[in-house]
Homo-oligomer: A and B are copies of this chain.
Amino acid sequence: MLACGTHIHVQPGETLFHQGDRAERCFLVLGGRLRLSKLHEQGKEVILRYLGPGELVAALAACRGADYLGTAQAVEPTELMSWDRETIEELMLTHPPLVHSLLQPALDRMNDIQSRYLELCAEQVAGRLARALLRIMEHAGRKTEAGITIDFPLSREDLASYVGTTLYTVSRTLSAWEKKGWIVSGRERIVITNPHALMEFAEGY
């Protein structure tokens, strides 16, 4: 069954698919990391989510033959499995329980953006940034001696696009947290040394 799929490799910076294109295929991330973003008419870019190993991409859109809702590009060398629309549709009809494997991630992502939409409305930058770090940490954190390292390149600008602010405000905020000893950061690299403090901060906001 899985053999019907095609192996794909994408290099950092390369685009897997573009927002607005017809979704002919869906993907499963095997290794590496993708960045799903959406572009505004006036040029500003927003990061919808990062996708790591084990996650499905564009499954719903491909099922329906709709357009991709965002643009997916690799932030690391990424390996994927891919299926075309006909194959998925056929699989879905012949294996009804498969639907649940699609529905759960869809529900999770719905929950994710709706929560972030709420935060964007209700909280100011620092609170959103704290939650963003925690969220990304849960998703892509690796335990190291110094703390929990986010193990893919993540710039100030990326974070800004993720929480809806500017790279300047992100920089200022991270500097403040670094002085407090909550994080250690370098060029496109962030280590969270005190997750508990960050959580308390995000809650109490």
**Residues of chain A whose beta carbon lies under 8 Å from any beta carbon of chain B:** 38, 40-42, 44, 46, 48, 60-61, 63-64, 66, 69-70, 92-93, 96-97, 99-100, 103-104, 106-107, 109-111, 113-123, 161, 164, 203, 205
A61 to B119, CA, bound (A): 21
Contact check, A99 vs B100: say whether CB atoms are below 8 A apart: no
Chain B residues in 8 Å Cβ range of A69: 107, 110-111, 114
> Complex: how many Å from CA A42 to CA B114?
16
By beta carbon, the residue of chain B nearest A120 is B120
Chain B residues within 8 Å of A48, by CB: 114, 117
Q: A121 vs B118: C-alpha distance in the bound complex, in angstroms?
A: 12
- Return the contact of A113 from the options B66, B93, B107, B113 (Cβ within 8 A): B113
